[in-house]
Copies of this chain bind each other. A is one copy, B any other.
Amino acid sequence: MRMRINLKFLLVILIVLGTITTLTYWIRCGDVTSAPFDHLDRSNPKAGMKGNLYSLDSEDDNFSENDASPLVQEGVPLIRTRGGLKTLDDIDCLINEEYTVSCKQEDGEVFIPFTFLHEYFEVYGKVVQHNDEKHFEWQHSYSKVYHPRGKYDPHGVFMWFENYNVGVRDRVLCISGAEGVPVSTQWDPQGHLYPIQIAQFGLSHFSKNLTEKTPSIKLLDAGEIFPSAQWTMLTNGQTKSPLKRVLEKTTQKKVLEFKTDGSDTDSGLTITSKEDSNHMILTFDLMMKANVTLSVTILGGKRTIYKLHYVMTDSLLSAHENEIFFGIGTSKDWMKITRDLIVDLQKGLMLVKTSRKGTKPRSPRVRDITLRGWGYIDNITLCSSAHMAHFFAVANWFVRHQDEDGGWPIMVSRRLFPGMADLAPGWYSAMGQGQAISVLTRAFKVTGNITYLYTAMKAVKPFKVRSESHGVMTAFAGKYVWYEEYPTIPSSYVLNGFIYSLMGLYDLKMTCTHKDCKEVTKLYEDGMISLKKLLPLFDTGSGSLYDLRHYSLGVAPNLARWDYHTTHINQLLLLSTFESDPILKSVADRWIGYMKGKRAAHN
Indicate the size class of the contact surface on chain A: 35 or more
B559 touches A602 (CB 8 A): yes
Chain B CB within 8 A of A67 CB:
yes
Once A77-B9, A112-B111 are accepted as A-B contacts, the answer to whether A88 and B91 lie under 8 Å apart by CB is: no
Chain B CB within 8 A of A155 CB:
no
Chain B CB within 8 A of A96 CB:
yes
Stretch in A24-32, A294-302, A307-315, A462-470 touching the partner: A24-32
Chain B residue contacts of A163, Cβ below 8 A = 61
Chain B residue contacts of A33, Cβ below 8 A = 601
Chain B CB within 8 A of A1 CB:
no
B537 touches A554 (CB 8 A): no
For A196, give the chain B residue with the smallest CB separation.
B65
Chain B CB within 8 A of A284 CB:
no
Give the contacts of A557-603 with B (CB-CB under 8 A).
557-561, 563-564, 566-567, 583, 586, 590, 592-593, 595-603
Chain A interface, >50% SS class? loop
A57 touches B143 (CB 8 A): yes
Most buried by B among A47, A416, A597: A597
Once A32-B72, A35-B601, A70-B32 are accepted as A-B contacts, the answer to whether A138 and B561 lie under 8 Å apart by CB is: no
Chain B CB within 8 A of A216 CB:
no
Interface string of A38-66 (1 = CB under 8 A from B): 11110000011010111111011111111
B96 touches A139 (CB 8 A): yes
Cα A595 to Cα B95 in complex, Å, equals 12
Chain B CB within 8 A of A79 CB:
yes
Chain B CB within 8 A of A75 CB:
yes
Cα A170 to Cα B497 in complex, Å, equals 51
B561 touches A541 (CB 8 A): no
Chain B residue contacts of A539, Cβ below 8 A = 550, 556-557
A108 touches B25 (CB 8 A): yes
Chain B residue contacts of A125, Cβ below 8 A = 93, 110
Chain B CB within 8 A of A104 CB:
yes
Distance in Å: Cβ of A434 to nearest Cβ of chain B: 13
Interface string of A83-111 (1 = CB under 8 A from B): 00000100111111110100111101111
**Choice from B39, B78, B431, B599 contacting A601 with Cβ under 8 Å:** B39
Chain B CB within 8 A of A165 CB:
yes
For A70, give the chain B residue with the smallest CB separation.
B32
Once A66-B196, A537-B537 are accepted as A-B contacts, the answer to whether A56 and B124 lie under 8 Å apart by CB is: yes
- Add 7 more A-B contacts to A36-B590, A93-B137 (CB < 8 A): A10-B73, A57-B143, A65-B171, A91-B135, A96-B140, A112-B138, A477-B479
**What are 10 of the A-B contact pairs (CB < 8 Å)?**
A12-B77, A37-B590, A60-B142, A60-B144, A110-B127, A111-B113, A535-B554, A539-B556, A541-B543, A559-B601
